[in-house]
Amino acid sequence: MSIIADDNDFKAEKNIKSDMVKPESIEFDRNFENTIRPKSFESYIGQTALKETLKISVEAAKKRSQPLDHLLFYGPPGLGKTTLAGVIAEQMGVDIKITSAPALERPRDIIGILMSLKGGEILFIDEIHRLNKIAEEILYPAMEDFYLDMTTGKSQTVKTLRIPLPKFTLIGATTKAGALSGPLRDRFGIIHRLEFYGADELAQVVKRTAGILNIEITDEAANRIAKRSRGTPRIANRLVKRVSDYALVKYDGKITKDIADEALDILKIDNWGLDNTDRSLLKLIIEKYDGGPVGIETIAAALGEDARTIEDVCEPYLLQAGLLQRTPRGRKVSPAGYKHLGFKVQNLQQSLFE
Ligand code: ADP
């Protein structure tokens, strides 16, 4: 797996969200993630239905000796989109080049990558909904018919060169499928959504990671960490690391249920996996906006966070957990959200009629 173009700001931004998910450093975080990334369908936990479909697509492509159709994965960050692209490359027996849309700002960035591809290779573009129009237009003929249209010369002497490309597979990943332009979305043969993981699956992720890092952990402790990981393997892995540090410094390194609880409390992660940012968000809406609805930009400004980070990182889990609701007029805290924060549901009557 090679990372051929990168954008540290983008990575940093993708990783920002409270102390719990904030990496020690971007480099450290990337190395850590790469060490524990599953490489096969067998070691890739959960997403069972999706894996079965993909296995069939991979087998069929191999039997036909053809590259796989272009694929689009969508879902919140940390659910395993990049990992899955790597698994597919491994199963196809081809190389993968990894980049992200914000790193493809200039036409020559995307042209350079496309021209460097070898037959059958996989090109993975993260946050593909952020591609600019010019890059998208360069991609269309490349995806559809495997060629590049290049113009040379100026005004009257302008010529279009058609450069053939080897057949490749584009795997796009996005946290927002709705933000993708129609023509780009239509060029993906297969579109899949990744789901949040169940507590049992996350407990397997926790145990697998602990095993790789030689960390001793009891089943009960793994379940505790899993339950507070917001359905997300990336968070489960980071918590394993943070709790293990705590167990090593304060005890003998082994993670037991009590030590896990103690460490998670110190990290201020509650029993629903919410951290300070999540709780501040809900509290803000309840206390300052009477439970909502309130617009995302207002929330972001009041919290001093980036609106996109809130939308991409905080919100999906709060919505899926039923603590927050999205309405045409903005975000509202649900009765469950009030209860979780220990507030009385004062405007329940009102919310039932909205
Ligand atoms: P995304 O691309 O969706 O943001 P990644 O693929 O980078 O997420 O996954 C984040 C981390 O979570 C990786 O380090 C990987 O090890 C772990 N991970 C993701 N999905 C799985 C899975 N299904 N099984 C085990 N670990 C996983």
Residue that the structure tokens 């469950």 belong to:
336
Pocket of ligand 1 (CB under 6 A): 33, 36-38, 44-47, 77-83, 173, 205, 233-234, 237
The catalytically annotated residue of 169, 175, 209, 309 is: 175
More confident residue, 20 or 300: 300
Q: What is the CATH number of domain 3-193?
A: 3.40.50.300
Active-site residue 145, yes or no? no
Q: What is the pLDDT of residue 21?
A: 43
Q: What is the CA(200)–ligand 1 centre distance, in A?
A: 16
Q: Compute the 3-state secondary structure of the chain and give helix, strand, coil in percent, each to the nearest 5.
A: 55, 15, 30
Select from 29, 31, 37, 125 the residue to mutate for testing ligand 1; criterion: most ligand atoms less than 8 Å from CB. 37
Q: What is the CATH number of domain 276-352?
A: 1.10.10.10
Q: Whose CA is nearest to atom 19 of ligand 1?
A: 80
Residue 2 confidence class, pLDDT cut points 50, 70, 90 = low
Question: Rounded to 5 degrees, what angle do the CA atoms 131, 182, 83 make?
Answer: 55
- Which of 303, 277, 295 is CA-nearest to residue 331? 295
Q: Whose CA is nearest to atom 5 of ligand 1?
A: 80
Q: Whose CA is nearest to atom 12 of ligand 1?
A: 234
For the chain, percent of residues with pLDDT exceeding 90:
80
CA distance 121 to 115: 12
Which atom of ligand 1 is the closest one to the Cα of 33?
Answer: 14
Active-site residue 82, yes or no? yes
Extract the runs of DSSP E, i.e. beta strands, from 79-121.
96-100
More confident residue, 4 or 252: 252
Question: Rounded to 5 degrees, what angle do the CA atoms 326, 331, 337 make?
Answer: 90
Mean of per-residue pLDDT scores for the chain: 89
3-class DSSP assignment, residue 193: strand
More confident residue, 13 or 125: 125
Whether residue 4 is predicted with pLDDT greater than 70 in this model: the reply is: no
Compute the residue count for the chain: 354
Q: What is the pTM of this model?
A: 0.88
Q: What is the CA(302)–ligand 1 centre distance, in A?
A: 31
Q: Are strands 147-152 and 159-164 parallel, antiparallel or unpaired?
A: antiparallel
Residue 26 confidence class, pLDDT cut points 50, 70, 90 = low
Q: How many CB atoms lie within 10 A of CB 315?
A: 19
CA distance 307 to 300: 5
Q: What is the pLDDT of residue 120?
A: 94
Average pLDDT over residues 43-53: 97
**342 to each of 232, 272, 283, 353, how far by Cα in Å?**
25, 13, 10, 23
Active-site residue 218, yes or no? no
The catalytically annotated residue of 14, 17, 29, 82 is: 82
3-class DSSP assignment, residue 169: strand
Q: How many CB atoms lie within 10 A of CB 49?
A: 10
Q: Tens digit of pLDDT for each residue in 172-212?
A: 999 988 899 999 999 998 899 999 999 999 999 999 999 99
Rg of the chain (C-alpha set): 22
Q: Which fold has domain 199-266?
A: Helicase, Ruva Protein; domain 3 (1.10.8)
**256 to each of 202, 212, 303, how far by Cα in Å?**
17, 18, 35
Domain ranges of the chain: 3-193, 199-266, 276-352
Active-site residue 308, yes or no? no
Q: 137-141, 160-164, 194-198: which range is least confident on average?
A: 160-164
Q: Tens digit of pLDDT for each residue in 291-331?
A: 999 999 999 999 999 998 899 889 999 999 999 999 999 99
Residue 152 confidence class, pLDDT cut points 50, 70, 90 = confident
Residue 160 confidence class, pLDDT cut points 50, 70, 90 = confident
Q: What is the pLDDT of residue 32?
A: 82
Instruction: Please compute, for residue 338, the number of CA atoms within 13 A of its CA located in the half-sphere on the CB side.
Output: 17
Average pLDDT over residues 127-150: 95
Select from 6, 32, 193, 234 the residue to mutate for testing ligand 1; criterion: most ligand atoms less than 8 Å from CB. 234
Active-site residue 332, yes or no? no
Q: Tens digit of pLDDT for each residue in 80-122?
A: 999 999 999 999 999 999 999 999 999 999 999 999 999 999 9
Q: What is the CA(156)–ligand 1 centre distance, in A?
A: 51
Q: 80-84, 157-161, 254-258, 309-313: which range is least confident on average?
A: 157-161
